[in-house]
Structure 1
């Protein structure tokens, strides 16, 4: 009798879904109770995450070159060495020509900080002298910002220190990236066939399809975002030179890096340029804003549609939500990697859902 009742209940799709959810949450709870077993694994993954992620990004940028050379009948190992020579050549150019200019501009910026602070104090004094012309509804807001200025400054400073700490951690692990990159370029294509040897024929096809989809998703995002960011950086640099904005190269490089953060990156990169332009000459802040708007309009209407298209098919509201959550949880690195991580997870879920749907009876194909 009990078996018949259970069989009858499990014929209902809602009961099956509820039971599956209960099993999943039970598994998560059991894992949380035995998390001490997984802590060494987590520590190991954390230690190698920087070189793997760094090498992975460079791999997806340079792998098309190796593939193209291989199609030209050049051995893959030779193509890998050629890519390393190109990277070494690019690094040499950056060290000899770009880095000295950036270092000089940064030193000049540090030297001009007292002047900026003095100008800010003068503006504050002018505001106090003319406080009577400010509408009453704005006085409380301005006073609140003024009273909590030190607290805001401490938060900004701690955030900057956190970013600098993450950068130093990345630099510390940077020397491992070439080793990981070499073997990724040389043997990366062997991963899927190697794992497939241990799978049945049906699972082998599924695994190869899944890895191909993940590879396409990551390549589309990283290669496209790299090209778009470089184009934006070049446009910003040309625009800053035209309006004669100080620290133009450093600000353009900052804009290039920030553009890797989808949607919010362009707005974040505009803030330093506007601040520097305002203290250089108030009208310069307006010109810096115009340069940023023009560059972003060209990028969003011309470059991105042709370079990236709709490769990830992620709604803008989803992007904003993910970035806000990742920024609060993982800081700057979270902002950089949340979108490709979400795209990979989305690809995996979509793959298994399609396979599950194909196995369902024709009269009952849907999940809900």
Structure 2
């Protein structure tokens, strides 16, 4: 048909088909609900096993190159994982639990102290605009309510974590088969494709695998280093709950761009209520750790970072947080990187098949 001879018409028609497909899915979503429920049920073990897979698979491959059978290498990995978990449960978890319990119990006292500071500040301020008086009074009068809400929210979050326990027990099974048979997936799928498509699929798989491996392995090492530096720094300045705050900083460092800023907030608050000058020192510790991470550790561990604009990162994190909460925030950047890699691959494949640009495109 003549209407489809120009590329712009083909592109517009493609978008129409995409939006029509989205509309059909939206009005028949009841068909996909069982699939969504199934995917939600297996998401935690698959994601957990996938993270450990990308961290441990290079070690298994290295052992295999040393002529150690792959199953034996997988067994060594499981023994190492068990050893790490044992150390965490026996030595680290009790300290974190004690510090976290003390922190929860001290939240009301922190709010009481904050209320006293606001009252003292308000009594000694004569230049506060009158329109702010009601706002300040409302905040100070409801400190206890805020404290109870925060405590309840934290306890509710802890309760929801237990919902993952059963899924976590499935992670070793998924991990075992990923390490054992993961390298067979691409050849298995390729045998059903034509030579050209099989080659394209192998290239796409290699690119996606490299993207995920680079992000997960690099981010794991970088975050571990940041957590260690924060623990040393917080302990040096005498900050309470130093291990819990350092672990929080370690986890938040997985969130690109804004994670380090968010991880500094609890440390600054705790330092301020312990001793105001400690809030300054906690900030100094965080800045030093982030400078070492961004200028020394990341360039040597991760090499060239994912080419994602900071504004795109912030937008993705805000959207993922609103849709999937903290889990979405953690995984939106690698998911976006995979989607970007996939689209880029198919775009280059499409460009190879196109003739020279038509000067009469529009």
Q: TM-score, normalised by structure 1?
A: 0.91
The answer as to 2:45 corresponding to 1:54 is no
In structure 2, the partner of 1:280 is: 274
In structure 2, the partner of 1:25 is: 19
In structure 2, the partner of 1:256 is: 250
Q: Give the 3 Å change call, closer, same or farther, for CA 152–115 of structure 1 in structure 2.
A: closer
What's the C-alpha RMSD, in Å, of the aligned pairs? 2.4
In structure 2, the partner of 1:297 is: 291
Structure 1 gaps, min length 5: 1-6
- For residues 115 and 42 of structure 1, the distance between their equivalents in structure 2, rounded to whole angstroms, comes to 44
Q: Give the 3 Å change call, closer, same or farther, for CA 9–155 of structure 1 in structure 2.
A: farther
1:1-368 pair list within 5 angstroms: 7-134=1-128, 142=136, 160=154, 163-364=157-358
- Tell me if structure 2 keeps the 8 A contact 1:220–1:308: yes
- For residues 314 and 38 of structure 2, the distance between their equivalents in structure 1, rounded to whole angstroms, comes to 31
- Tell me if structure 2 keeps the 8 A contact 1:236–1:295: yes
Q: Give the 3 Å change call, closer, same or farther, for CA 288–178 of structure 1 in structure 2.
A: same
Q: Give the 3 Å change call, closer, same or farther, for CA 303–85 of structure 1 in structure 2.
A: same
- Tell me if structure 2 keeps the 8 A contact 1:240–1:291: yes
Q: Give the 3 Å change call, closer, same or farther, for CA 161–354 of structure 1 in structure 2.
A: farther
Q: TM-score, normalised by structure 2?
A: 0.93
Q: Give the 3 Å change call, closer, same or farther, for CA 206–158 of structure 1 in structure 2.
A: farther
Of 35-44 and 69-78, deviating more is: 35-44
- For residues 111 and 159 of structure 1, the distance between their equivalents in structure 2, rounded to whole angstroms, comes to 14
- Tell me if structure 2 keeps the 8 A contact 1:196–1:204: yes
In structure 2, the partner of 1:3 is: none
Of 30-39 and 274-283, deviating more is: 30-39
In structure 2, the partner of 1:4 is: none
- Tell me if structure 2 keeps the 8 A contact 1:217–1:311: no
